[in-house]
Amino acid sequence: MSIFTGAGVAIVTPMKADGQVNFDKLGEMIDYQIEHKTDCIIICGTTGESSTLTHEEHIECIRYAVEKTAKRIPVVAGTGSNCTQTAIYLSKEAEKCGADGVLVVSPYYNKATQNGLFEHFTMIADSINIPVILYNVPSRTGCNILPETAVRIAKASKNVVAVKEASGNISQVAKLAKLSKGILDIYSGNDDQIVPVLSLGGKGVISVLSNIAPEQTHNIVASYLEGDVKTSLKLQLEALDLVNLLFCEVSPIPVKAALNMMGMEAGILRRPLTDMEPENKEKLRKAMEEYGIKLV
């Protein structure tokens, strides 16, 4: 059974001016997402600046998200690391916190061979009793989980149930869909490829766009799955310019800027991430206005 079907938000981690996690604003954002039809909260992913959270902050964010969501929709916790033992530790803690599943990115910087990826993911999956979503984003990690490897991992570890595919390579997604034969759910990890991934049997998207347009992103998936491909495609294409600007600088720089423009008080970015360049921010503001997002 799928952890979720639809649009899951890779939610930001709001920060106070002093750089501390702003749990009050995180709670408001979680309520906003649920009220606007988001199908799953993904906490402490890349968009949540997980790489600059301490372990204590990371676990507290997961615990808070689970408690605040209160079973209204599933919560998936980002628990990946380039250290297998660290990923096991965070995954176990996420399970203790009550997360419905974990999202585990492939090792970054030190990377791994395909056999190394197999051992990394199976060791993590076998250490917990909740579902695991593999996260393939080679542009960030320098490490590609090949379709054959993803299927091998899923066959070896029953807890591995899905892949967030952010390689941008639709041919690779097609091969994964063919080889997995239904044992792995596929989620688009790119907001500009939701419809293409759905056309290959995907279950939905783990989305940055959903932070600022949750209902619209939900509707892209829902329309497709209801059989209204024409409307789904129309909604996908209408969002394309905005999506491109949400990734014109390294994420989550633009999406935090966008949320601040909406008065959502996402706050500052932790270094090494810095504020959005003024000319790009102006382009983003214009795209948001054209898309119909209310700004302050």
- 207 forms beta bridges with 9
Catalytic residue among 25, 68, 164, 256: 164
Catalytic residue among 16, 25, 68, 135: 135
DSSP characters over 10-22: E----B-TTS-B-
- Is 71 an active-site residue? no
Residue position matching structure tokens 């906003």: 32
Type and span of the H or E element at 186: strand 185-188
- 204 forms beta bridges with 6, 187
Evaluate whether 144 touches 189 at the Cβ level (below 8 Å). Answer: no
Evaluate whether 186 touches 150 at the Cβ level (below 8 Å). Answer: no
- Is 135 an active-site residue? yes
75 Cα distance to chain centroid: 11
**Active site residue ranges:** 135, 164
